[in-house]
Chains A and B, each alone.
Chain A
């Protein structure tokens, strides 16, 4: 019994010691950011003397720099910080002190580089992104120069700023970083920036940002309708094909790019309708076609498509609600082998952006149920000679 009590007392005592140690570390010795609390004030001479005992004490070197800066001795402050950087080049405290000193001196480019290292190594996005945002807004070239090196923070920064409504024109230069080993701008960044530009009515600029994000081989034949032969998987981003993302049980259709012997390539678009109500287009693509008269052409195969009015391709103005439908195809219903189809399209000057959709006819007017399969290939929008 006595032994048990003794054990329990020992455990309690040990726990108290451990608790005190935890409290000491977390609440007494370090602040909420994990930094040591400010050391007791000391004169420069005292710190210098302590540094003689331990020249590698980075904290004291930084303290020395702080005192020098406070007394406007920038040269000595910088020398102290250079020493700290030499001792601990990736220490967060050192990098932060270095960035602060550089900003204080107005050396924005170098400060941005130091902040970039902090952001890459330690995150700290909440504190550093506002600084980068101000640099970006001010048109400071340092931030773009850094971004082009594709450090880790750029993607999160673009998404953060895009979500906060920063102009797509301001963010676009950050997307020009070259893709290397899985780096470069991510699809989410391109989508957010181009969407922001489209919403601002800057469709040509959005289109250009998207063009810039394409791999070189994809630029060989961009076309007014991108990937109209359905040879490449759809990305669902910006001006590429956007298959309906809803689950088949909800959407009533599945759009896939499947192998096909028809058309100019090896694949075609196939949409399978399962007989359920159609609520959204099965596939769509945003376009940024200049004003003018065009002809949309393609090839289609229809397999037992049943529904009140079938399905059709529709090109609408997406940048101006007042303009509406710019052209529509024939209705695809019943069954037919591969055959060409085409329809005329007139794009007025006020319509900078358009959307091409494959949709059930009359979907917007009432309940529409469709079943069957359709294939499409070689969809293109042609300008007159």
Chain B
């Protein structure tokens, strides 16, 4: 019976000893996320400004992550939340927000015409022997491109 008690004690002691070991795998600094699946040039803010980042770089709250053209990266929080940045996006690492509220922002919100814009070429200008001519309407992304002949 005493052997059994001693065995349980050893199991408990081992569990207690392992506990901190498991925690030790978590970073002891104040970082809360890391960069994964990085492609291209990704920049992060540091004490003296922006510098290029590396895969697995640990991130503190308040760090800004910026992707350049043809680049992308995932900010992976320690709680499992993943925020994907496509090219030309920025993201600030924040603590305490629900995962769904963590969104990368587009740096360029290009002003695209709301309505279709007619391209009046006076195709005669291109057509070598006159004739032709028309108004091509471009715009309304994803939709059909109507033609209105003169």
A interface vs B, CB < 8 Å? 35, 38-39, 62-63, 66, 69-70, 93, 96-97, 99-101, 103-106, 108, 111, 127, 131, 134-135, 137-141, 167, 169-170, 172-173, 176, 178, 204-205, 208, 211-212, 216, 219-225, 289-290, 380-383, 385
Residues of chain B contacted by A127 (CB below 8 angstroms): 125-126
- Complex Cα distance, B112 from A167, in Å, reads 11
CB-CB under 8 A for A106 and B132, given A176-B70, A216-B41: no
Q: Can you identify 17 A-B contacts, CB atoms within 8 angstroms? A: A38-B130, A63-B129, A100-B126, A100-B127, A103-B134, A104-B134, A106-B145, A108-B138, A138-B116, A169-B111, A176-B70, A205-B108, A219-B52, A222-B52, A223-B49, A290-B64, A383-B47
Tell me the complex Cα distance, A104–B149, Å: 8
Distance between A199 CB and nearest chain B CB, rounded to angstroms? 16
When the two chains form their complex, are residues A381 and B48 in contact, meaning their CB atoms are under 8 A apart?
yes
Q: Contact: B138 with A135, CB < 8 Å?
A: yes
Which residues of B have CB within 8 Å of A104? Answer: 123, 132, 134, 136, 147, 149
Q: Is B56 an interface residue (CB 8 A)?
A: no
| Cβ-based interface call for B119 (8 A) | yes
| Additional A-B contact list (10), CB under 8 Å, known A222-B51, A290-B64 | A39-B129, A62-B128, A69-B131, A100-B123, A104-B132, A104-B134, A108-B145, A138-B138, A140-B138, A221-B51
Known: A66-B127, A211-B68, A216-B41. A103 touches B119 (CB 8 A): yes
Closest to B116 in A: A138
Verify A208–B66 contact, CB threshold 8 A.
Answer: yes
Closest 8 CB pairs of A and B: A139-B112, A224-B49, A223-B49, A138-B139, A100-B126, A106-B145, A222-B50, A176-B69
Distance of B78 from chain A, by nearest CB (Å) = 21
Output the residue of A96, A105, A134, A381 with the most chain B CB within 10 A. Answer: A134
Q: In the complex, what residue of chain A is closest to B147 when comparing beta carbons? A: A106
Instruction: Scan B105-131; emit 1 where CB is below 8 A from any A CB, else 0.
Output: 001111111001101010101111111
- A226 to B137, alpha carbons, bound, how many Å? 45
Shortest CB-to-CB span from A125 to chain B, Å, is 14
